[in-house]
Amino acid sequence: MALFKKKEKVNDEFTVLPKHIGIIMDGNGRWAKKRGLPRTAGHRAGADVFEKICKECGRLGIEEVTFYAFSTENWKRPKEEVNTLMRLFYDFLIEAKDRIAETGNIRIKFAGERAGIHSELLKLMDEAEATTADRTGTVVNLAINYGGRQEIVSAVNKLIAGGKTEITEQDISDNVYTMPDCDLIIRPSGEERLSNFLLWQAAYSEFWYSDVLWPDFDEEDLHMALHEFEKRNRRFGG
């Protein structure tokens, strides 16, 4: 009889997986600059990587991934760059809602402030949320027009509007944009900061940084982050 029980595997590759991953897709501009291309080319390449990583998360059985796609501060970027990003979101949502074979069995959710987003894109986001709601694969939260502080303020305002005069942590958790606590934050491109991403949900997140620029990020990089996560000893302050 074996003395030690083999560690049970969640799939063939990992013994433990984060339930909710947050990804900061950083480095598109630098990737383009290195190649003498406009920043928009970096975002296009980044959008392809986003789709690839969504699929891989689905294959691995990750429950939920939140991608930081556009912050409340990103409106300050040149108009052409903002328009390209909005177009990429639009094209992806059309694909995700209608072509399950291409984007996988993902469920799309939106995380961010609606005010400021073009009505056509909002309509499509609502449609994509509705048409993918019954899917059983990975939940993909698109953080668009997202700011972590704004998210907390908006949750508190919702609670005040609902008549609350005393607020608990659970109240805020219940009123941030639908996401559960985040287990792992991945940030490529050499920057080691949170940049106003998932401030509430990241209270006990593990962090994984890498020098690779987002358009060069691939399944191997995701696996490296997940293997590192497997080794972390999470104590949640206890």
Smaller CB separation from ligand FPP, 126 or 174: 126
Smaller CB separation from ligand FPP, 18 or 215: 215
Q: Check 12, 74, 105, 171 and give the catalytic one.
A: 74
CB 111 within 8 A of CB 197: no
Residue 12 bears catalytic tag:
no
SS3 content of the chain, % helix, strand, coil (to 5): 45, 15, 40
Question: Which residues make up the interface to ligand FPP (CB under 6 A)?
Answer: 25-30, 39, 42-43, 46-47, 50, 67, 69, 74, 85, 88-89, 92, 142, 214
Shortest Å, Cβ 175 to ligand FPP? 24
Shortest Å, Cβ 221 to ligand FPP? 14
Shortest Å, Cβ 87 to ligand FPP? 9
Distance (Å, whole) CA 236 – CA 150:
25
CA 237 → CA 19, 79, 203, 204, 205, distances in Å?
19, 44, 10, 8, 12
Residue 74 bears catalytic tag:
yes
Smaller CB separation from ligand FPP, 18 or 112: 112
Q: Name the closest residue to ligand FPP (Cβ).
A: 29
Distance of CA 62 to the CA centre of its chain: 12
Nearest residue to 222 (alpha-carbon basis) of 103, 104, 67, 86: 67
CB 93 within 8 A of CB 129: no
Shortest Å, Cβ 61 to ligand FPP? 21
Catalytic residues: 26, 74
